[in-house]
């Protein structure tokens, strides 16, 4: 069979609009060290101006050294980049995909410069955080603004940059997480599976940052950060109940607390929670890292090493479920979200897929969304100084 134009769309009618007006997708992530010599400069990049105590930095440095100074996050981004490219090529979405990081090579500014040199003018960004918060959303937008400003100061014309909506409640995120929980349950001894509690975990953030997360109308107790996690956790717990026929109790707990001890951060910590579960007589628990999209260092160290040791000391059987990684449903969701946003930008009214009680998240962060302690320019939002 000769398939000379497999991507041309239906024989009659106009060719599919696809991802127009976008001419590139940018995968924007955190970055991590790739060898022992990278660890200290990486941590300096992460914590510059963030007021993290020195003892905490030394401790986190040790976590990385225990793993040879290598974070798995960059390889995970490389795999996601490849998986999204394959998804686009298999579905005839003609959109090049680039990758840049906030804190390590490939640095965002270098990636955006390459994109400009390749003639990209209209960029859509996917960040590797599914939720609203300063750290997971606005800080990336500040990084974009800094990078665009750097290009401008080099005499380059910055491209127009948008950011995809939060995807915590997309079925392509929820379903793989639920499958992971079902798989993790089967790792527990058969006698404790039905009684196992689901401990959904995410990155702790300062309570003040949680309370002001999301658009101003969602500010208040825990803000959009907590509300979005609770919605996602409930959806996963419900899917697990349907698949296993067992209704399990669940809670949202926090991990990886940083910052000075006098500033309140979201609690309870996952390790304290495991102890409380043991004290209440729970027979087992599954830790579900619903706050993350890959099994990076916060998962490998804080859950698989630290929390697992805590559970062993308590005599509480635990399993840890997988993150979405490159699950095909997740890459398909990325394609859907890209095509949806492109259609919106063309003035169409695409279907906006979302589960749960909160509905599809905003496409453009409004003024006052996830405010910073010290205001800085942020791109890809209503308050962007860039056109
Ligand atoms: C909400 C959130 C996410 C999820 C959303 C997202 O994914 O973006 C996230 C992800 C990550 N955090 C990571 C690493 C670190 N985070 C730190 C510090 C901090 N994180 C914070 C929040 C978050 N962090 C906050 C409020 C701080 C305090 C300092 C500050 O206010 O900025 C520090 C400094 C040491 C410490 O204090 O722990 C490190 C090394 C890695 C890389 C892992 C790897 O290498 O595999 C990833 C994916
Ligand atoms: Fe972090």
**Model confidence band, residue 40 (pLDDT cutoffs 50, 70, 90):** very high
Q: What is the pLDDT of residue 150?
A: 98
**HSE (side-chain half, CA atoms, 13 Å) at 111:** 24
Q: What is the pLDDT of residue 49?
A: 83
Say yes or no: 56 and 158 in one domain: yes
Tell me how far the alpha carbon of residue 203 lies from the centroid of ligand 2, in angstroms.
7
Say yes or no: 46 and 162 in one domain: yes
Say yes or no: 257 and 209 in one domain: yes
Q: Which residues contact 185 (CB under 8 A, 6 or more apart)?
A: 193, 196, 240, 244, 286, 319
Say yes or no: 96 and 75 in one domain: yes
Say yes or no: 43 and 149 in one domain: yes
pLDDT higher than threshold 60 for residue 8: no
Mean pLDDT value of segment 293-311 = 98
Is 203 known as a binding-site position?
Answer: yes
The count of structural domains within the chain is: 2
Each residue's pLDDT tens digit, 202-223: 999 999 999 999 999 999 999 9
Look up the pTM and report it: 0.95
pLDDT higher than threshold 70 for residue 12: no
Q: What is the pLDDT of residue 259?
A: 87
Mean pLDDT value of segment 267-276 = 98
- Higher pLDDT pick, 248 / 12: 248
Say yes or no: 175 and 290 in one domain: yes
pLDDT higher than threshold 70 for residue 14: no
Closest CA to 292 of 57, 183, 134, 131: 131
The atom of ligand 1 lying closest to the CA of 296 is: 46
pLDDT higher than threshold 90 for residue 16: no
Of 258, 295, 304, the residue with max ligand 1 atoms within 8 A of its CB, to mutate for a pocket test, comes to: 258
Q: What is the pLDDT of residue 15?
A: 67
Distance CA 159, CA 386 (A): 9
Q: What is the pLDDT of residue 1?
A: 38
Question: ∠ at Cα 36 (35, 41), nearest 5°?
Answer: 95
Mean pLDDT value of segment 268-286 = 98
Q: What is the pLDDT of residue 31?
A: 98
Indicate whether 85 belongs to any domain.
yes
Q: Which protein residue has the closest C-alpha to ligand 1 atom 47?
A: 30
Say yes or no: 286 and 147 in one domain: no
Say yes or no: 266 and 135 in one domain: no
Q: What is the pLDDT of residue 295?
A: 98
Each residue's pLDDT tens digit, 146-205: 999 999 999 999 999 999 999 999 999 999 999 999 999 999 999 999 999 999 999 999
Is 298 known as a binding-site position?
Answer: yes
Indicate whether 357 belongs to any domain.
no
Indicate whether 341 belongs to any domain.
yes
Say yes or no: 274 and 246 in one domain: yes
Q: What percent of the chain has pLDDT over 90?
A: 91
Say yes or no: 217 and 284 in one domain: yes
Say yes or no: 195 and 71 in one domain: no
* Pocket of ligand 1, beta carbon within 6 A: 30, 32, 43, 46-47, 50, 52, 56, 60, 71, 73, 128-129, 133, 135-136, 203, 205, 256, 258-259, 291, 296-298
Tell me how far the alpha carbon of residue 18 lies from the centroid of ligand 1, in angstroms.
35
Average pLDDT, the chain: 95
CATH of the domain at 114: 3.40.50.1400
Q: Please report, in angstroms and rounded to a whole number, the separation of the first and last CA atoms in the chain.
A: 47
**What is the per-residue DSSP string for 15-57?**
PP-TTTT--EEEEEE----BSGGGHHHHHHHHHTTS---HHHH
Indicate whether 267 belongs to any domain.
yes
Is 107 known as a binding-site position?
Answer: no
Q: What is the pLDDT of residue 53?
A: 86
Tell me how far the alpha carbon of residue 25 lies from the centroid of ligand 1, in angstroms.
23
Tell me how far the alpha carbon of residue 46 lies from the centroid of ligand 1, in angstroms.
8
Say yes or no: 211 and 295 in one domain: yes
3-state secondary structure of 169: coil
Mean pLDDT value of segment 84-99 = 97
Each residue's pLDDT tens digit, 124-141: 999 999 999 999 999 999
Distance CA 66, CA 265 (A): 26
Question: CA torsion sign, 42 to 43 to 46 to 48?
Answer: negative
Do residues 26 and 69 make contact, with C-beta atoms less than 8 angstroms apart? no
ipTM, interface predicted TM-score of the complex: 0.95
Distance CA 202, CA 291 (A): 4
Q: What is the pLDDT of residue 5?
A: 42
Indicate whether 34 belongs to any domain.
yes
pLDDT higher than threshold 70 for residue 13: no
- In terms of residue numbers, what domain contains 193? 171-320
pLDDT higher than threshold 50 for residue 363: yes
**Model confidence band, residue 7 (pLDDT cutoffs 50, 70, 90):** very low
pLDDT higher than threshold 60 for residue 322: yes
Q: What is the largest CA-CA distance in the chain?
A: 69
Q: Where are the alpha helices (DSSP H) in the chain?
A: 39-47, 54-66, 73-90, 108-117, 139-153, 171-185, 190-193, 207-211, 223-244, 270-279, 297-300, 308-314, 328-345
């Amino acid at each position: 069979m000769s398939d000379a134009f497999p991507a041309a769309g239906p024989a009659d009618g106009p060719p599919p609009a696809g991802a127009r007006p976008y001419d590139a997708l940018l995968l924007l992530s955190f970055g991590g060290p790739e060898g022992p010599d990278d660890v200290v400069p990486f941590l300096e990049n992460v914590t510059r101006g963030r007021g993290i105590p020195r003892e905490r930095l030394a401790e986190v440095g040790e976590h990385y050294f225990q793993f040879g100074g290598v974070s798995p996050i960059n390889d995970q981004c490389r795999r996601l980049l490849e998986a999204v490219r394959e998804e686009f090529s298999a579905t005839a979405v003609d959109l090049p995909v680039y990758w840049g990081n906030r804190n390590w090579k490939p640095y965002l500014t270098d990636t955006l410069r390459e994109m400009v040199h390749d003639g990209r003018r209209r960029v859509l960004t996917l960040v590797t955080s599914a939720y609203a918060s300063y750290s997971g959303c606005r800080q990336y937008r500040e990084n974009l603004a800094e990078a665009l400003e750097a290009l401008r100061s080099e005499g380059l014309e910055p491209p127009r940059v948008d950011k995809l909506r939060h995807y915590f409640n997309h079925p392509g995120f929820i379903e793989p997480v639920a499958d992971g929980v079902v798989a993790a349950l089967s790792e527990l001894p058969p006698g404790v599976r039905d009684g196992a509690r689901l401990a959904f975990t995410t990155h702790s953030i300062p309570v003040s940052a949680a309370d002001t997360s999301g658009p101003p109308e969602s500010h208040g107790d825990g803000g959009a950060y907590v509300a979005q996690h609770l919605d996602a956790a409930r959806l996963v717990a419900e899917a697990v109940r349907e698949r296993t026929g067992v209704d399990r109790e669940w809670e949202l707990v926090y991990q990886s607390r940083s910052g000075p001890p006098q500033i309140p951060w979201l609690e309870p910590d996952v390790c304290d929670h495991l102890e409380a579960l043991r004290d209440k007589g729970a027979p087992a628990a599954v830790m579900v890292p619903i706050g993350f999209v890959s099994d990076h260092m916060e998962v490998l160290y804080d859950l698989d090493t630290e929390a697992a040791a805590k559970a062993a000391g308590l005599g509480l059987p635990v399993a840890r479920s997988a993150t979405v990684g490159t699950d095909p449903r997740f890459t398909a969701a990325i394609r859907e979200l890209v095509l949806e946003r492109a259609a919106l930008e063309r003035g169409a009214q695409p279907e906006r897929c979302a589960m749960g009680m909160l509905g599809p998240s905003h496409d453009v962060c409004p003024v006052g969304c996830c405010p910073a302690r010290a205001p800085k320019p942020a791109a890809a939002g209503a308050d962007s100084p860039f056109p």
